[in-house]
Each structure stands twice: as structure tokens, then as C-alpha cells.
A and B are shown apart, each in its own frame.
Chain A
Amino acid sequence: MAAQTQQTQPLQDDEELCTIEASVVTGFEESARGEAKEKFNVDVKAVRGRITWKVPLNKVNDVLKMGSVDNCKVVVHTVPCFHFTDQHDSLARLQKMVKDIDWEIGLRAWQHVYAFPYPIASRPDVIPSDEDLMDVVIITNLPPPKDKSAKKDKKKGRWGKKKDKIKELKRRILQSKLDDSFQQSPRSPVNEKGDADVKKESDLLASHDEEVGLTDENDLSMSKKDDGSKVNRLAASRAGQHLLKLDSARTLDNHSKPAPEEGGESLRQHNLASEVNLTAGISDEATKQAAMSFTNNSLSPGQGSSADSSLSPVGKKISESEFASIVISRLTSPREPAPAEDGAGGVSPKMSCVTPPPTPIRSIDNPFSNLQGRLTSELLPFLDNSKLPERGDSIQGSRQDKDDNGGIIDAKLPFSAGTAQIESISVDETSSNMPNVPSLSTLATSASTPKTSSSAKELAEDSTNSRQQEDRDKSLEGNDSSKTYKRAAVKKEPDPTKPKFRVTCFRTGDTHAFDSTSAAASFGSALVAYFGWQVDLKNFDLEVILNIDNEEVTVSLALTKMSLHYRNLVAFGPTTLRATICYNMLRLCRIKNGDFVCDPMCGTCAIPIEGALNWVNCFHFGGDIHEKAIERTILNIAAIQEKQKQENKSSLKLDVLQWDIQHLPLRDRCVDVFVSDVPFGHRMGSRSVNPALYSSLLSEMARTARLGARACLLTEDRSSLIKAIQNLGRYWQRRLILNVNIGGLNGYVFLLTRTNFAVAPSSTSWRGDEGQIANEGQDGDELASADSRSVTDSSVETRTETE
């Protein structure tokens, strides 16, 4: 920057502060905070898993040299309370936020770490309007949301799982009951097939008062069709629901006290079958069977097996008509459907924020954008990954063409274009001389278009109507051509003056109406509109991180492409400890200059190496019993010494031995600090030997520990270590236990200090059992006083002995 004396001159790099957020292994936040405070001399905030503080721009690179943090980023914007509403509004407002963010500091900080050959403008010359920015991108071809219950199940025992099953069944019963009461049923049970079964059902249906909704028109149109099978299906499915309503009461009685395994199973199957019919169109056979099974079930509730057939391909062959009607029926139901996957639909229930929520953004063209948003989220469970075209993935960051809709629902769909598409696609639903389609069904079908384009392929096989096929192909083609067009648009000449970027979104919370992929895609799309940067998910220059934690939104730029814990080692054992964890453990011990630091179970030497690199005025050594560990240690030490040499740095004060901790070949009182990751008993060692192992370890450590020694031990087997410490409480005092996340395991870091109680020297010449040390304890007091003399006398004493 040219030196200017005006007030508008941006601050120099050493004055301008940026906010850095660094991730820390959970449990070590205080330790990392201490390091940041020491190095940067500022206040550091620590929350779970991360620390935040302000750093002048010229010191940004020092952040990456810290030992206790894993990933660093520079925060550019924080919104404490975003007031998330529905999908479209939330995503659109996120996109609008791009304009409001001050990117300057962040970009400058980023450029201190990553040199980009061209200057990156923090503000474009032409600032796009809000409308240009708000081009919401919703990714729909996602795999079904992860079944988190499976993970929870793992932790529960047998009874926990049974309880869950019962809960699940109850919920399904309730839900299907409620669904029935709101479900619309057709007034006209038109049925060309005239099956006896279906007639029976229709009789039942006719006897009920039904609410006639918009579905009627669809049904009418459907009835005009040649293919009556679909009507049959729909009627059957509706009938199924009613039967279910009748049945559920009865089956509930019969299964009031379910032996959860068998009774529950059939009931669940029953419910599943009904749900299947509710939600999906199934092949004729299956539906008929299901319908039959329902009728059968009304007579004999115990038979759940016949429902099996209906369980086959759920969601495989959904036709648009069912789809549309189902969707509409769901929409018009006044309450939300119970299986709320992944934050489907809904405003966040409670807003504890003070600031009033902003006015929600509705797409002007499409007054039903709200519904569309809901549609998408509700459609998610129905959509099957295999059905949708692949190209949905390539959407991120690129603008949506108005005609394009494969895999993505463009919520800004202008009305006319939407209708036009629908006409071409919904041919099989409506006859050619279809009157005005009400807007709601239009919406429904437009929402169903992604399914159409793919299901079109399958239906093309079924359908005999060539016209339909033609039109579907056209729409497919249209999609294809726009697909190629879009690809071409993305693959235009890369502009070297603009950085390549990606957006990564982390989303935590139950109440969001969108998912992280859509948020990332939308945000990226806004960034492209704003800056003109190019998207590259793999070989990116700049990574923008969008962190959504319930109501809090943070935008930051990543400063680390790879976690900082990948350092030092080349050879790894089964339980090698992360460098950042090693660093934090060493920090806990308050190592002073001149200390001797020992890791009696060093494994691949992670801790001594980390110590030797960062605490250079100490001597670090360690030992392990296992041959393989020693081999790997040799490699690691050779590698790190070589690296030091190449960087013209001093060789490390480091040494390793092969020993057995039960018989440490060390003299008494020569170690100041012990730091070790002891075997947990899973991958290394076994739980059964832990108590004995830990006790021998502590006693040998006690013998070889100098006055004022500290020990920092990491284990998962907390109880064994606590017992061992209690056994040797005479020598070791427990100062701190930290709960740390070690690769998902619940680790505990114990900090112990050595008491002044000496281990009797007579017992050190020949290692008896523990009892001997305990017996000798009476002499301990005398020796304790001897020990309290200054340590420099020890050399004098030895000299006198040799004389």
C-alpha cells in the first residue's frame, strides 16, 4: 500500500487486527488458551473445541506455528442470532449476507499466509443487487439422512433398544392415525377394473364424509386416463388408509401388550405397509396384495406377513400423479408430518434473541415460494438417490438457468416458465385439453419435476402413450441440453486473476429447514455473483467456511489446508498420539529449562520428539518395550534429525532406549517430568493387565522421580489408574484430571505430582514386590529430610563415596 497521510489510509499490518479462531482437541482448550495468551499477549476466549482471539495481521503466520491447535481460520463475520425460518428465506438471507460482510481484513490476513499472484478485491467494482445475489440453490439429490439412531443404539444395551422399538411403534400408530384424519380421500372411487376387493373398499369409503380438496381435479383428470391402474392404486392406497384407521384401533387392542419382538413386528409391518401405500405408488400387484392384506387384516390382525410384499420397492416406482397428490395432501394437512427428517419444515420454535426477526424474503414471482421450500424438505425422504440425474452435484457455485431444474429446485421459478415446463411434463396426468391447473397443483408438479426427469426414464418403459414419452423425452432433452450448457458455462476459460474457492458449511442444530450442502451451494453461488471467483471444490485457493451453530452464523476463511497436527512423524504405530495432544500434555507439566523429560512408554516417540522440538533447553528421552515400536522410533528420529539438519537447525536433545517399565534401568531420582500415553487396553495391551501395569509404572516412576517431579498420563481406563494412584498415594498426588477427546474415545489426562516421600534406597538394588517398598516406608521420613537438601549436594556426596 502506498504511503499516504490521509485519514482514509488503511491501517498498517501490525496495527490492523483480525479475529482468529483455532480448533483445539476437546479438553485442552485451557492449555491452548494459555499458549495463545503467551504468544500474542492478548485476551483469548475459549469455548468447547476452539479458541478465539485477535491478532495483528503481520502475526498471522505465527498462529500457524502454534503447537496446541489443529485448524485455524480468520473470522470475517458473525451473526449471533440469525432467526432461521423456512428454507428459501434462510438461504436467501444467507446469500444476501455476502454483500454485508467486510471481506477486507479476512482477505488480507489470508494473503499473509497464501500468496496469491493477483490482488484480490474485497469489494467488486459493480456491486450486484440483492436480487442478483439471492439465487437460492437447493440440493435435493442427497442420500437419505444418516440414521443417527443406529449410533445411539450402539451405546444402549438390550433394554434400551427394546424401549426404543416400543417408542417407535407407538409413534407410528399415532402418526398413521392422525394422517388418516387429515388425509383427503376421493369422492369418486372410479375404478375401471371393478375388482371385488376394491369395490368393498369403495363401499367403505363412500360411507365416510370426505373433505374434497384440490385433489379432486387431479382425480378427475386421472380418471380420464387410459391407464386405470393408477387410479386403482390411488384408490387402493386411500382405502388402505381408511382400513388402517379402522384397524389401528383393533390392532391396538390386540397388540396392546405387545411382546415387542413378534407382535411389534407384524404391527410395524402393517404400519409400514400402510405408510408405503400412503407415500408411494407401487406396482399393481403389490398394491392389490396390500389392499387384500388390509382387508384380511381387518379380519385377522395377526397376519402381518402378507404385508411383506408391499414392502418391496419403497419409492422405486413413484409416478408423478401419486407423487403430486401425496405432496398436495401433505401440504394441505394443517400439521406437519411426523417423520421429520433432518429439520424438515418449520420455523425454529423458540427464539431467545432480543433482536426482532427480519421480514422474511419471499420470492416475488412465486407467491408459494414458502410452500416450495417446504416441498423440497418434505420431498427429501421420498427422493431416492438412484433416481435423479447426476449433474445435480455440479451445481455449487454456478448460477441457475431458469429452465434448468434437474436435481435442483430453483425457488425463483417464474410462474410462466414453470407452467410451461409443467405442461410438457405433466402430460400423463392431464389430458391434452386440460383446463387451468390450479396453482397449488402446479407447484406440486413443478416440485415433482426433478423426479419426473429421472422417473421419466422408468415410466417410459411402462407407458404406452407415445405422446407422453415424446414430451418426457423432450423435457429430458431439454434438461440435458441445459445440462451441457451449464457445464459449458462452468468450464469457460478460468480467470487467473480470480482465486478459486470452495464453501464448506458446518451445520449444527435440529431446527434448520435446510441442510449444509444447500447452504454451502447457495452461499457459494452468491459469492460467485458478488466477486466473480471461480468454484473448484478440490484445487481451491480459498476456502470459505460457513459455520451454522443453531442460531449463530459465522463466516470465516480457512488458514490451514491441512490440520496442523500432521507433523513430525513418518512412521506410525497403532496408537500414535496426535502432535497437538502431545504438545498440550507437555504444556500441562510446566516444563522448566534444564528439566529431564521422560516418556517411559513412548511407542513411536511422538511425545519426546514434540518435546525436543518445542522445549529445546531440556533433555527428552523415552523408552518402549516393543521391538516394532523401536523400529518405528528409529525411523522417526532419523527423519526429524534429518529435517533439522536441512533447516540448519540444531540436532535434537533426544534419546530412546528399549526397556521394560517394570524394571526401569534408571538410577533413583533422575527424572523431572514424566509424560506418557499409557496403554488403554483396547488397541494396545489389555484391560485385565492394566491395574498391575499402572501400579508398576507408578512405582518405578516414583523411584526415578526427582524432587518436585510431575507426571502427566493419558489413559482411557480411568478406574484402573485411579486405583493405582490410590495404591501409591504415598508417592503420587493427583492434581488434575482432564476429560479429553482422543479420536472419539473418552480419554483422561491425569496430572500428578511427586510427594516428598522417598522410596527407600535399599529396595532399589533389587526390585522385590511392591510390599517391600511399602515396608521400607518407615525409613522414608529420614530419607525425606535427606532429600530436602539442595540438589547440588548430590554430586558432592558421590565424590566423597568414591574416595
Chain B
Amino acid sequence: MKLLTHNMLTSSVIKGVTKGFPLKIVASKVEVREVDYNEPFIIKTLSKVDWPALHQAANEVGYGEDLPIELGEDFQKDETLLRKIHNALLQVDIIEGELVCPESGRKFPISNGIPNMLLSEHEVSS
């Protein structure tokens, strides 16, 4: 699972959870795969992602040191920063681990790079 995907995930679907974003990551196996760098894509994506969530997630998997806490105004011209962001967003891949709901503590397992977000009967509205 890539961090870009994680940035979209929420556990708000669970009954009673109001703020299910962002999910905490507990990673046991992480890989880095090379993905072609495409600047326009990164820039456009940055306008969609939730930066603090990304920053937190990157730190949780151990690739967050290079990322600033806040995204400044001139990030578009900073190529090194963009490349680091590219790395965090697309190249880091969580193979094994867990996603944890920040509110309820419900764990979603990740195996073979695929998180299982299925809920049980009592967790959703009947």
C-alpha cells in the first residue's frame, strides 16, 4: 500500500467514529520501489493530499525525516523536495502491517501490500 492511498483512507465508516482520519500505520515490512518521477503529477497531487496526514504517515514508516512539517509556498520550485515527496508518496510501499483507527483503535491488517478494510456486521449500521 502506498502512502498516497493511505492519504485517502478513513475509518469513519465505522459506526460511532467521527474522526477516522488519518489512520495510524504500524508497519512491519516496508519496501521502496522505483517509480518514474513526473513533476506535474506530484504538483497536482499535492493539491489533493492532506499534508499533515502524509507527514505523520511518512514518519510512522520511517521515511519522514526529509519532509517539512509544513508545506511552504514555494514547494513547486523546489525539486529536491518534490523528489522526496515523490519518494514518500509513491515509492514507499507497505507490504505487511496494520492500519489503526485513531478513535476506536480498530485494526485493519495489511498483507501482501493489500489492506483489508472489511468491517464486521456490528461495526456498520444494520
Q: Does A766 lie within 8 Å of B16, measured CB to CB?
A: yes
Contact A795 B71 (CB under 8 A): yes
List of B residues within 8 angstroms of A765 by Cβ: 12, 17-19
Q: Is the CB of A768 within 8 A of B8?
A: no
B11 at the interface (CB under 8 A from A): yes
Shortest CB-to-CB span from A589 to chain B, Å, is: 17
Name the one of B16, B19, B47 contacting A795, with C-beta atoms under 8 angstroms.
B47
Q: Which stretch, A179-187, A648-656, A736-744, touches the partner chain B?
A: A648-656
Q: Which bucket holds chain A's interface residue count?
A: 35 or more
Determine the distance from Cα of A666 to Cα of B70 in the docked complex, in whole angstroms.
24
Q: Are A794 and B10 in contact, with the CB atoms below 8 A?
A: no
Stretch from A44-52, A490-498, A562-570, A616-624 contacting the other chain: A616-624
Check A584 for interface membership: any CB of B closer than 8 A: no
Chain B 5-48, CB-CB to A under 8 Å as 1, else 0, gives: 10011111101111101000000000001111010110011111
Are the CB atoms of A791 and B47 closer together than 8 Å? Answer: yes
A658 touches B118 (CB 8 A): yes
Q: Does A778 contact B (CB under 8 A)?
A: no
Contacts of A650 in B (CB 8 A): 34-36
Select B112's contact among A634, A667, A792, beta carbons within 8 Å: A634
Residues from chain B with Cβ under 8 Å of A798 in the complex: 50-52
Contacts of A652 in B (CB 8 A): 35
Whether B49 lies near A795 (C-beta < 8 A) is yes
Q: Are A658 and B51 in contact (CB under 8 A)?
A: no
* Interface pair B38/A795, CB less than 8 Å apart: no
Chain A residues near B38: list those with CB within 8 A.
Answer: 616-617
Which B residues are CB-close (under 8 A) to A618?
41
**Which residues on the B side are within 8 Å of A594 (C-beta)?**
40-41, 44-45
Cα A798 to Cα B48 in complex, Å, equals: 11
> Which of A594, A633, A656 has the most chain B CB within a 10 Å cutoff?
A594
Contact of B2 among A623, A655, A658, A706 (CB under 8 A): A655
A794 engages B47 (CB within 8 Å): yes
Tell me if B36 and A792 are in contact (CB < 8 A). no
Q: Is A103 engaged at the interface, CB distance under 8 Å to the other chain?
A: no
Known contacts: A619-B4, A766-B125. The answer to whether A651 contacts B50 by CB under 8 A is: no
Q: Are B114 and A656 in contact (CB under 8 A)?
A: yes
Chain A residues with Cβ below 8 Å from B12 are 667, 764-766
CB within 8 Å of B: which of A464-488? Answer: none
Taking the closest CB of chain A, its distance from the CB of B121, in whole angstroms, is 11
Interface string of A344-363 (1 = CB under 8 A from B): 00000000000000000000
Name the A residues within 8 Å of B41 (CB-CB).
Answer: 593-594, 617-619
* Residue pair B2, A794 in contact (C-beta under 8 Å): no
Q: With A667-B8, A799-B52, A799-B70 in contact, do A767 and B118 touch (Cβ < 8 Å)?
A: no
Complexed CA–CA distance, A19 and B50 (Å): 51
In the complex, chain A residues whose CB is within 8 Å of the CB of B33: 641, 651
Chain A residues near B117 (CB-CB < 8 A):
623, 657-660, 665
What is the bound-complex CA distance between A792 and B33, given in angstroms? 28
Which residues of B lie under 8 Å from residue A593 when comparing CB positions? 40-41, 44
Chain A residues with CB under 8 Å of B112's CB are: 634
A767 x B1 contact (CB < 8 A): no
A24 contacts the other chain (CB 8 A): no
Taking CB atoms, residues of chain A closer than 8 Å to B19 are 765
Give the A-B pair count, Cβ closer than 8 A.
118
Q: Does A664 belong to the interface (CB within 8 Å)?
A: yes
Contacts of B15 in A (CB 8 A): 766
Kindly provide the distance from the CB of B65 to the nearest chain A CB, expressed in whole angstroms: 21
**Which residues of chain B are near A795, meaning CB under 8 Å?**
46-51, 71
Report which residue of A634, A637, A659, A792 has the largest number of chain B beta carbons within 10 angstroms of its beta carbon: A659
Nearest CB of chain A from residue B47's CB, rounded to whole Å? 5
How many whole Å from A622's CB to the nearest CB in chain B? 11
Please give me the residue from chain A that is nearest to B23 by CB atom.
A665
In the complex, A670 has a CB within 8 A of chain B: yes
Residue of A623, A633, A663 touching B119 (CB-CB under 8 A): A663
Smallest CB separation, B24 vs chain A (Å) = 14
Instruction: Tell me whether B116 is interfacial, beta carbon within 8 Å.
Output: yes
B115 at the interface (CB under 8 A from A): yes
Contact A660 B118 (CB under 8 A): yes
Q: A658-B114, A802-B52 are in contact. Are A768 and B125 (CB under 8 A)?
A: yes
The answer for the CA separation of A616 and B37 in the assembled complex, in Å, is 11
At the interface, yes or no: A769 with Cβ under 8 Å from chain B?
A: yes
B12 to chain A, nearest CB (A): 5
For residue A379, CB closer than 8 A to chain B, the reply is: no
Q: Does B90 sit at the interface, judged by CB under 8 A?
A: yes
Closest to A706 in B: B48
Given contacts A665-B10, A670-B8, contact A653 B35 (CB under 8 A): yes
Q: Which residues of A contact B118 (CB under 8 A)?
A: 625, 658-660
CA distance A660 to B13 in the complex (A): 11
**How long is the Cα–Cα vector from A136 to B82 in the complex, in angstroms?**
71
Nearest A residue to B12, CB-CB: A765
- The CA-CA distance from A663 to B5 in the complex, in Å, is 16
Q: How far is the CA of A433 from the CA of B117 in the complex (A)?
A: 94
Contact of A767 with B8 at beta-carbon distance under 8 Å, contacts A593-B40, A625-B118 already known: no
A596 beta carbon closer than 8 Å to chain B: yes
A630 within 8 A of B: yes
In the complex, chain B residues whose CB is within 8 Å of the CB of A670: 8, 48
Distance (Å) between the CB of B106 and the closest chain A CB? 11
Tell me which residues across on chain A come within 8 A of B51, comparing CB atoms: 795, 798-799
**B4, B44, B91, B113, most chain A CB atoms within 10 A:** B44
Closest to B18 in A: A765
User: Which residues on the B side are within 8 Å of A767 (C-beta)?
Assistant: 13, 124-125
- Tell whether, in the assembled complex, residue A663 and residue B13 are in contact, meaning their CB atoms are under 8 Å apart: yes
Whether the pair B45, A619 counts as a contact (CB closer than 8 A) is: yes
CB distance from A774 to the nearest CB of B (A): 16
- Which residues of B are found within 8 Å of A616, using beta-carbon distances? 36, 38
Tell me, in angstroms, the Cα distance from A459 to B71 when the chains sit together: 96
A618, A656, A657: residue with the most chain B Cβ atoms closer than 10 Å = A657
CB distance from A186 to the nearest CB of B (A): 83
Pairwise interchain contact B125-A769, C-beta atoms closer than 8 A: yes
On whether the beta carbons of B35 and A651 are closer than 8 Å, the reply is yes
Roughly how many angstroms separate A330 CA and B90 CA in the complex, as a whole number?
A: 78
Q: Hey, what's the 0/1 contact readout for A62-88 against B, CB within 8 Å counting as 1? A: 000000000000000000000000000
The distance in angstroms between the C-alpha atoms of A575 and B92, with both chains bound, is 32
Contacts of A637 in B (CB 8 A): 113
Enumerate chain A residues within 8 angstroms of B113, measured Cβ to Cβ: 634, 637, 655-656
Question: Please, how many angstroms separate the alpha-carbon atoms of A657 and B119 in the complex?
Answer: 13
Min Cβ gap B21→A in Å is 6
Give A625 to B119 CA distance when docked, in angstroms: 11
- A-B pairs, 6 with minimum CB distance: A594-B44, A650-B36, A663-B13, A665-B117, A651-B33, A659-B117
A-B contact pairs, 14 of them (CB 8 A): A593-B40, A593-B41, A619-B41, A633-B114, A651-B34, A656-B114, A657-B1, A657-B114, A658-B116, A764-B12, A765-B17, A766-B15, A798-B50, A799-B52
Besides A656-B113, A658-B116, A667-B8, 6 more A-B contacts (Cβ < 8 Å) are A593-B44, A617-B41, A657-B114, A665-B9, A665-B11, A798-B50
**B interface residues with partner A (beta carbon < 8 Å):** 1-2, 4-5, 8-13, 15-19, 21, 33-36, 38, 40-41, 44-52, 70-71, 90-91, 112-119, 124-125
**Which A residues are within 8 Å of any B CB, using their own CB?**
593-594, 596, 616-619, 621, 623, 625, 630, 633-634, 637, 641, 650-653, 655-660, 662-667, 670, 706, 764-769, 791-792, 794-795, 798-799, 802
